[in-house]
């Protein structure tokens, strides 16, 4: 929990650890929209319970605290501490995936408001815990053989419910037994994640019932199990919904179409809604008495968020709040809307919103230190690409910027809320600005296929996107349009532009290295879409999925298809310095690229982080990634270096790369 001694300087410069040690409530990225709020309202509506999570890179761990907030006063108390980071798992292409992103932890109040149940990971196991709401004690409830996926209470509050998936443990045991005689290489394999079969299948949830004080674990009966809600695919999303005495509202869609709002009264009769708010990018629903509040993205390129109020069947929807700030997890308590709110230069806070006027009051700021930290200034830019698709970006300049051309780094591929490190939190925007860079924090435009057509499923979507690399061309055109706007404003130096990326952003960066002369340095956290990666390294299921989207199979090499997108095929003409910082579960995809670039004497450096996922989950690795990326762009775009003796070897390698780059320059 934050503590202030009153002796902080009025302002000070930001250091990267300020961003790394942010206290998070809910999922860390502002772009992550979920149908569940991390803010749990007590039965009497007077208190909120939520989990705070803070990285500690010194110990490579997380500080976690369960907090209760009094809605009237904003006062907080810590009711439990400890536990390890719980990361998300889900089924993708029939396989259990663990991308490294934090899972959302939602505390659950007992019906009498005296206790809170939540999931806590201790010694590698996720269990259900019971915590006294007044902070007087806590205990583990059920030492189950399987990780707790969800928790709840029976209707009478006498027992705690725990959702588990024993099929995962059972499948893992079968795989271990299979290893005694060798694994059959089949559809269960994804070689990049390890030389063993992955867990496959849906593995239905089993609901257990336990005594709150611990023990007496047994299968829950059907009535009690229903308290946890319907079973959904592991990690799968659900539609937005909200229920009150006045009726029920839900928002759902077909594939990638707009979310459609459906409302029924208390008797189940549909109430039509013809207003614009009833379709589009809806991100939250909640009721206060007979009034439904709809949170949605709107405005130019959906860059704003707004709250609308509507009494279904009684009046027309009315907007009470709109602007560039991100609103997440909105719920109702004590007659007000309670939301998480943040913007480009303000970390997330808990706020109360007047349901009639939209007036906002800050209830709790988990990161008060940022009031005394100097951040760069940000402005929102809008631009369209060469096929007319509009998007936006935040252009951040250093604190005290007084004009002149700056080196600029592009960070991708979402820019919602407080600017951390882009998608995956890999490239710290405000830390780059503090070093003297301009930063273009880029918001990904809609898929080419959804703007230019109406795909009915993912295969159709990707097949359209991949035809003549239409999606990659669209994205690169958008990035270049944003960069050009910053150049035209006299802020970005056209000769000193860098590009970064993770996941889809890394694919955009790789495509840019082949198809653009704009970028003088690059850093990627994944690499790369190459023939070998598509046909082999991702395993048989991945290969077939890619073939269904238009990629050629291994038996029919197609150099012409790959010409616009393969770094390997274009390596001889790529001279841009490339930094690769990769997870051990993904680096195989980059070996072809690294090998060819290295053989040609190109400036490339690759690091592999142990026990990492698609998203870096270990704080010490994120710190190392940030520091090296900052040094990399300082060296290549600003000609500066950190004089620390510990980095002597690093700069010796980079100096040799620069000399080789000069030697290879075309006359």
For residue 234, pLDDT beyond 70: no
Q: Are residues 196 and 167 in the same domain?
A: yes
Given 203, 414, 589, 614, which residue is catalytic?
Answer: 614
Residues 587-617 pLDDT 10s:
999 999 999 999 999 999 999 999 999 999 9
Shared-domain flag, residues 153 and 281 = no
The active-site residue, picked from 89, 478, 503, 566, is 503
**Cα 259 to the center of its chain, rounded Å:** 21
Q: What pLDDT does 240 receive?
A: 86
Structure tokens at 89: 């798992």
Interval 470-500: pLDDT, tens: 999 999 999 999 999 999 999 999 999 999 9
319 located within any domain: yes
Task: Evaluate if residue 6 carries a pLDDT over 70.
Answer: no
Closest CA to 491 of 438, 433, 430: 438
Q: Are residues 248 and 330 in the same domain?
A: yes
- In total, how many domains does the chain have? 3
In this prediction, residue 215 carries a pLDDT of 84
- Average pLDDT, stretch 626-645? 97
Average pLDDT over residues 104-109: 97
Rounded (10°) angle between helices 539-548 and 458-466: 70
Q: Are 520 and 544 in contact (CB under 8 A)?
A: no
Are 384 and 473 part of one and the same domain? yes
User: Rounded distance, CA 302 to CA 274, Å?
Assistant: 20
Mean pLDDT of all residues in 391-419:
97
Segments in 49-203 forming alpha helices (H): 166-178
Contacts of 583 (CB under 8 A, 6+ apart): 100, 526, 608, 609, 612, 613, 614, 616
* Res 367: pLDDT: 97
| 34 within some domain | yes
Q: What is the pLDDT of residue 8?
A: 55
Region 614-639: mean pLDDT is 97
Closest CA to 593 of 523, 532, 657, 660: 532
From 339, 366, 393, give the residue that closes a domain: 366
Residue 376 lies in a domain: yes
Whether 29 shows a pLDDT value over 80: the answer reads: yes
Given a contact cutoff of 8 angstroms between Cβ atoms, the answer to whether 515 and 564 are in contact is: yes
- Using DSSP's 3-state secondary structure scheme, residue 363 falls into strand
pTM: 0.94
Residues 334 and 248 in one domain: yes
Going by C-alpha positions, the residue among 23, 71, 13, 82 that lies closest to residue 46 is 71
Question: Which 3 state secondary structure label does DSSP give 215?
Answer: coil
CATH number, position 288: 2.120.10.30
Q: What is the mean pLDDT of residues 280-293?
A: 95
- Tokens (6 digits) for 323: 């602007």
What residues pair up with 319 in beta bridges, in sequence order?
A: 308
Q: Is residue 15 part of a domain?
A: no
Domain stop point among 210, 238, 266: 238
Do 475 and 610 reside in the same domain of the chain? yes
- Tokens, residue 659: 């000399």
The overall average pLDDT reported for the chain is: 94
Residues 143 and 56 in one domain: yes
Residue 395 forms beta bridges with which residues? 379, 440
Residue 614 designated active-site: yes
Is residue 381 domain-shared with residue 460, that is, in the same domain? yes
| Claim to verify: residue 39 and residue 154 sit in the same structural domain | yes
Question: Residue 217 belongs to a domain with what CATH number?
Answer: 2.120.10
Give dist(CA 219, CA 565) in Å, integer. Answer: 53
List the catalytic residue out of 98, 586, 605, 612: 586
Mark which of 238, 257, 282 sits at the end of a domain. 238
Residues of the chain with pLDDT > 90, as a percent, come to 86
Give the pLDDT confidence of 160-219 residue by residue, as tens digits.
999 999 999 999 999 999 999 999 999 999 999 999 999 998 899 999 999 999 889 999
Distance CA 265, CA 287 (A): 12
3-state secondary structure of 256: coil
pLDDT (average), residues 33-39: 89
Q: What is the pLDDT of residues 315-374, one digit of tens each?
A: 999 999 999 999 999 999 999 999 999 999 999 999 999 999 999 999 999 999 999 999
Average pLDDT over every residue of 383-408: 97
Query: Residue 140 is part of which domain span?
Result: 23-238
Q: How confident is the model at residue 560 (pLDDT cuts 50, 70, 90)?
A: very high
Domain for residue 5, yes or no?
A: no
């Amino acid at each position: 929990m934050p503590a202030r001694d009153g002796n902080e300087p009025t302002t000070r410069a930001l250091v990267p650890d300020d961003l790394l040690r942010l206290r998070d409530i809910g999922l860390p990225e502002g772009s992550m929209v979920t149908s569940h709020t991390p803010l749990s309202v007590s039965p009497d509506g007077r208190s909120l319970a939520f989990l705070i999570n803070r990285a500690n890179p010194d110990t490579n761990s997380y500080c976690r605290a369960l907090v209760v907030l009094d809605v009237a006063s904003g006062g907080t108390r810590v009711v439990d501490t400890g536990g390890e980071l719980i990361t998300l798992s889900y089924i993708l292409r029939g396989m259990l995936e663990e991308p490294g992103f934090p899972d959302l932890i939602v505390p659950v109040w007992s019906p009498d408001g005296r206790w809170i149940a939540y999931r806590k990971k201790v010694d590698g196991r996720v269990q259900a815990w019971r915590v006294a709401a007044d902070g007087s004690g806590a205990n583990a409830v059920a030492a189950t053989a399987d990780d707790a996926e969800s928790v709840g209470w029976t209707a009478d509050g006498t027992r705690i419910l725990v959702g588990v998936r024993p099929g995962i443990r059972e499948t893992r045991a079968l795989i271990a037994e299979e290893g005694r005689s060798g694994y059959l290489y089949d559809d269960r394999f994804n070689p990049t994640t390890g030389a063993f079969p992955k867990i496959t299948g849906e593995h239905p949830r089993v609901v257990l019932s336990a005594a709150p004080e611990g023990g007496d674990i047994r299968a829950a009966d059907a009535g009690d199990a229903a308290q946890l809600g319907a079973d959904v695919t592991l990690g799968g999303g659900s539609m937005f919904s909200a229920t009150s005495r006045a009726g029920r509202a839900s928002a759902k869609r077909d594939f990638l179409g707009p979310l459609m709002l459906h409302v029924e009264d208390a008797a189940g009769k549909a109430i039509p809604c013809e207003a614009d708010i009833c379709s589009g990018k809806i991100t939250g629903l909640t009721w206060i008495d007979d009034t439904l509040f709809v949170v949605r993205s709107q405005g130019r390129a959906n860059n704003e968020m707004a709250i609308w109020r509507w009494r279904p069947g009684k009046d027309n929807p009315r907007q009470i709040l709109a602007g560039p700030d991100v609103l997440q997890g909105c719920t109702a308590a004590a007659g007000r809307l309670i939301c998480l709110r943040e913007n480009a230069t303000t970390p997330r806070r808990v706020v109360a919103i007047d349901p009639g006027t939209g007036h906002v009051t800050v209830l709790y700021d988990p990161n008060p230190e940022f009031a005394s930290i100097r951040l760069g200034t940000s402005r929102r830019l809008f631009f369209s690409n060469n096929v007319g698709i509009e998007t936006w970006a935040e252009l951040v300049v250093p604190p005290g910027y007084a004009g002149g051309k700056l080196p600029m780094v592009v960070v991708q591929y979402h820019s919602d809320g407080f600017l951390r490190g882009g998608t995956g939190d890999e490239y710290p925007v405000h830390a780059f600005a503090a070093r003297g860079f301009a930063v273009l924090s880029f918001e990904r435009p809609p898929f080419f296929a959804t703007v230019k057509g109406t795909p009915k499923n993912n295969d159709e979507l990707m097949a359209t996107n991949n035809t003549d690399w239409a999606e990659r061309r669209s994205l690169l055109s958008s990035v270049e349009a944003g960069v050009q706007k910053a150049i035209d404003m006299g802020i970005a130096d056209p000769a000193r532009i860098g590009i970064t990326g993770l996941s889809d952003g890394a694919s955009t960066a790789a495509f840019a290295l082949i198809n653009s002369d704009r970028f003088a340095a690059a850093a990627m956290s994944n690499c790369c879409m190459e023939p070998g990666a598509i046909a082999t390294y991702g395993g048989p299921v991945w290969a077939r999925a890619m073939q269904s989207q238009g990629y050629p199979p291994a038996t029919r090499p197609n150099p012409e298809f790959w010409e616009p997108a393969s770094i390997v095929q274009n390596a001889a003409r790529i001279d841009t310095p490339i930094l690769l910082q990769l997870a051990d579960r993904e680096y195989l995809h980059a070996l072809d690229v690294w090998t060819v670039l290295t053989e040609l004497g190109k400036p490339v450096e690759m690091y592999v982080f142990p026990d990492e996922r698609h998203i870096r989950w270990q704080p010490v690795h994120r710190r190392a990634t940030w520091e090296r990326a900052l040094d990399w762009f300082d060296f290549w775009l600003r000609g500066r270096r950190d004089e620390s003796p510990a980095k002597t070897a690093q700069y010796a390698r980079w100096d040799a790369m620069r000399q080789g780059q000069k030697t290879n320059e075309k006359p």
